Structure 1
């Protein structure tokens, strides 16, 4: 156990998602690196932490490319240069739930860039192996740093809840054998229920009770929202927002002090790119020109609110504003044929007026023709709407094709198969497939459905 002549201080951060090229935009990939690297800089240079704990999802993709690995190593090297050990666990984005090969966190552990912790759950009882700085292997179970003992629990998905009692027993066993530390930390990659409305699957407070008996600080990752519970459960959220909803949340990292076994934490917001949402109702506009004119005016009206969103913590370290990501949602009943709705023109209006890095357009409008068809379908609107209440274009197309097929008696009870064939043919035509290939697909499907033989046309 390393010794310190002052009370230990650590930074708790999580969910950097390095390598996430959101929307295919290069600058969004750069944002993931910048928010991570800036947070590391602030923790080291401004807060002067003694060590760091990371709650998982360092990377966004399991197949890490060279650029993402380089970005991660640069941030970790800043910790290394300041002699600040980094202790981490595996998140669901970092590696497969069931191990198949050496993952990138194990690679970083073996090179001394971080200390990867995980519980050994292979036997009848859970166990934690002490970290050996001279022979680290590919992972460890726990590590002692500045009088604080840190344990790690890797991402287990639905198995997490069933494992917590055994994990608590294993922690207690280590502390009994090795002596009680000044404070005990458990890092885990899972969410606690009740902190994000409408999101299920979190761990219940009852399941956490065994852990509470033996842990002073539960350092979580996974949910991209900052929350805490009972002055012992802490989740800092992601370092970058990954959609407009997340952009409304506090996101960042905790600076935590341990004094005489007592925990005190201070939250710091990370510097990240702003998101902004524009909703536009199309109902009142009778022509495309009228719609575009009204749309441009409405975007103008949003600029003052956008200005507020672009303030801190969204500034770059230079103090300059970052161009926003705009979520544009079109809603309502179109008063003209859908083919005349120029969404590219609407995107250009937003980009010109807001300087947006990217405009993510969600077209949730319905045309009069669509509304009429929906009312005539079996099941009405419920048959073609998704869980968010939006028209599912795939379901609508399938329902229309099936209805058309059902009107022809020669198809008997095979209208679903005929509808599927029509959908396949449509996709083939839109993909500019060879007409002869499309015709052959139709012939084969018809033979399979009606057993008419190979010579039928």
Structure 2
């Protein structure tokens, strides 16, 4: 254990997402707890005097008994060493508009965590001092070993509107109570430009008032580790939650304060490895060629996977852990989609990689689909989802709208007619009787085109 510094040492971590049973896999729920607990034990080994947590302790707002037990058991490790934990609410922890006692407030009242939040709507002070004897359900700030910690709960898009008020409230407390050796503000929001393609972050201009009164801004929310200007620190989530996140660093900061300021060091958290495999199907003219070339591609990427698994933070007790594989199929199929055996693909990947779970993203397009896209009046983007893949339901709806628009009687109600076609198709696939399907069509026709009259046309 390292020697203590002149000032207190603390750990800053965030986004544990305890209880997240990703892909419905029990081991992924266990991963969330084990990563959370191992981070706590590592921090204790580093000799921290207190801990700060920047939100999203839980993954779901409706916390089940297992997730609550996992959270309490992890925090109990700090309690055994008399290490206080200070935290804030994240967007996964509770609703923006509170109705009843939430689980973070429960942990606060039980002494497992000091929950901090700003009172930005009341008539009293924005930040109330924490009372260790009568803690209530939350506090505004707390003093620990000469360090003053303030908390700003998740406020979504309203965050930027309140930062100047928060800065003024911090300055007021420090003027009335005396300047601390160090001022920390915990927040659950992102800073713009730190995650490509992610909009809605706080701008650097909006942060200026806070920078004047805060030494250490401890953030959560974005799962990517980053820092800015030697005063903004975001450790990222403890676990990767998809393969995009797996490319980022994840972990926690150990921070030493001293009379000259503070020094921070980032540590990788122990977590399960994710590995992405991309395969382009363009050159596979038959299902047999596809299987042969896919297996060859899989064999070629295996060394990279095995090398990645050797990183110490991906191991458990020194042992290699089963990876989560994200398989992305893309390109133009040269054979019928019905001949693409996705189950065979999954089984082969599981066998060769010893994967815990294989998540298959099928972005391939058949020749038939490509021909349909060329015939549509609207652009391809209208039938693609957020990942750029063809959405079958959106494509079907577009086709039905085009068919409806080709009949002059329906041109003012293409959307409604297309919806009717979808309902009829679903009824047929559900093996409803011809009489029932016919009745559905008649009823919809009466609703949409009462001027046509008659039920037998």
1:391-447 per-residue CA deviation (whole Å, 9 max, x = no partner) reads 232221111112222334443433321111122333445566677655543332222
Matches within 5 A, 1:159-174: 159-174=158-173
In structure 2, the residue matched to 1:208 is: 207
- Would the aligned equivalents of 2:88 and 2:151 in 1 still touch at CA under 8 Å? yes
Q: 1:212 to 1:442 in 2, by over 3 A?
A: same
1:221-253 per-residue CA deviation (whole Å, 9 max, x = no partner) reads 000011111111100000000111110111000
Matches within 5 A, 1:210-289: 210-289=209-288
- Would the aligned equivalents of 2:147 and 2:181 in 1 still touch at CA under 8 Å? yes
In structure 2, the residue matched to 1:335 is: 334
Distance 1:334 1:179 in 2: 70
Q: Which moved more, 1:68-77 or 1:417-426?
A: 417-426
Question: What runs of 5+ residues in structure 2 fail to find an aligned partner?
Answer: none
1:33 aligned counterpart, secondary structure:
helix
In structure 2, the residue matched to 1:66 is: 65
Matches within 5 A, 1:46-61: 46-61=45-60
Q: Which moved more, 1:56-65 or 1:421-430?
A: 421-430
Deviation (angstroms), 1:100:
1.5
Distance 2:321 2:436 in 1: 49
Distance 1:314 1:350 in 2: 23
Are 1:348 and 2:356 counterparts?
A: no
- Would the aligned equivalents of 1:182 and 1:261 in 2 still touch at CA under 8 Å? no
1:12-36 per-residue CA deviation (whole Å, 9 max, x = no partner) reads 0000001111111111111111110
1:354-390 per-residue CA deviation (whole Å, 9 max, x = no partner) reads 0111111111111111111111111342442345433
Distance 1:428 1:360 in 2: 31
Are 1:31 and 2:23 counterparts?
A: no
Matches within 5 A, 1:315-326: 315-326=314-325
Distance 1:363 1:273 in 2: 24
1:175 aligned counterpart, secondary structure:
helix
Distance 2:156 2:433 in 1: 45
1:198 aligned counterpart, secondary structure:
coil
Length-normalised TM-score, structure 2? 0.95
Deviation (angstroms), 1:325:
0.8
2:131 aligned counterpart, secondary structure:
coil
In structure 2, the residue matched to 1:19 is: 19
Q: Which moved more, 1:311-320 or 1:246-255?
A: 311-320
Length-normalised TM-score, structure 1? 0.95
- Would the aligned equivalents of 1:364 and 1:391 in 2 still touch at CA under 8 Å? yes
In structure 1, the residue matched to 2:369 is: 370
Distance 1:174 1:196 in 2: 34
- Would the aligned equivalents of 1:183 and 1:261 in 2 still touch at CA under 8 Å? no
1:30-57 per-residue CA deviation (whole Å, 9 max, x = no partner) reads 111111010001001x201110000000
Distance 1:418 1:181 in 2: 68
Deviation (angstroms), 1:261:
5.0
Distance 1:430 1:269 in 2: 51
Q: 1:219 to 1:368 in 2, by over 3 A?
A: same
Distance 2:427 2:47 in 1: 60
Deviation (angstroms), 1:308:
1.6
Deviation (angstroms), 1:167:
0.6
- Would the aligned equivalents of 1:22 and 1:29 in 2 still touch at CA under 8 Å? yes
- Would the aligned equivalents of 1:325 and 1:358 in 2 still touch at CA under 8 Å? yes
Q: Which moved more, 1:121-130 or 1:12-21?
A: 121-130
Distance 2:8 2:191 in 1: 27
Distance 2:433 2:258 in 1: 73
Q: Which moved more, 1:383-392 or 1:56-65?
A: 383-392
- Would the aligned equivalents of 2:238 and 2:269 in 1 still touch at CA under 8 Å? yes
Are 1:136 and 2:157 counterparts?
A: no
Q: Which moved more, 1:408-417 or 1:53-62?
A: 408-417
- Would the aligned equivalents of 1:247 and 1:275 in 2 still touch at CA under 8 Å? yes
Distance 1:93 1:274 in 2: 23
Q: 1:126 to 1:368 in 2, by over 3 A?
A: farther
Count of residue pairs the alignment pairs up: 453
Q: 1:454 to 1:319 in 2, by over 3 A?
A: farther
Give me the CA root mean square deviation.
Answer: 2.0
Distance 2:432 2:315 in 1: 47
Distance 1:16 1:435 in 2: 53
Q: 1:126 to 1:410 in 2, by over 3 A?
A: same
